[in-house]
Amino acid sequence: MNFDFTPIVQAVIALAAAVITSVLIPWIKVKVAAENIEKAKNLTKLAVQAAEQLFGEGVGEDKLDYVIKYVSGQIKIDSQTLRNMIESAVLEMNRALEP
C-alpha cells in the first residue's frame, strides 16, 4: 500500500506561504519603516544643530534651506514630514537651551 504525500506537502507549503505573506512580510515592513523614521529624526536633529552652529542667529531661511538640502540628500522623505521634523528638532534644541 503506497500513500501519496503530495497533497500534504502542498498543503504545508501553502500554509507556510500564507503565514509568511500575512505575518512576516508586514512585520518586516513596519520594522523597516520605524527604522527609517528614526534615521530621519536623527539626521534632522544633526542638521538643525549643524545649521545653528554654522549660520548663527537671525538667518532662519538659510538654516532651513541647509537642513532641507542635507536631509533630502541623505534619505527620501516628503516635504511636509521633513518640515515637521525640522520644527520638532528646533523646538527640542530651544528647550534644551532655556535656563
The three-point CA angle 73-77-80 to 5° equals 120
Compute the distance between CA of residue 66 and CA of residue 14 in angstroms, rounded to an integer: 51
Can you read off the three cell numbers belonging to residue 56?
548663527
Q: Are 81 and 68 in contact (CB under 8 A)?
A: no
Query: Tell me: the pLDDT tens digits for 24-82?
Result: 888 888 888 888 888 889 999 999 999 999 998 888 899 999 999 999 898 888 889 89
Task: Give the DSSP letter of residue 75.
Answer: S
- Measured in whole angstroms, the distance separating CA 40 from the mean position of its chain's CA atoms is 5
Dihedral sign, CA of 72, 74, 76, 82?
negative
Tell me the pTM. Answer: 0.67
Q: Are 49 and 21 in contact (CB under 8 A)?
A: no
- The reported pLDDT for the residue numbered 66 is 93
> Which residue type occupies 63?
K
Which pLDDT band, with edges at 50, 70 and 90, does 1 fall under?
A: low
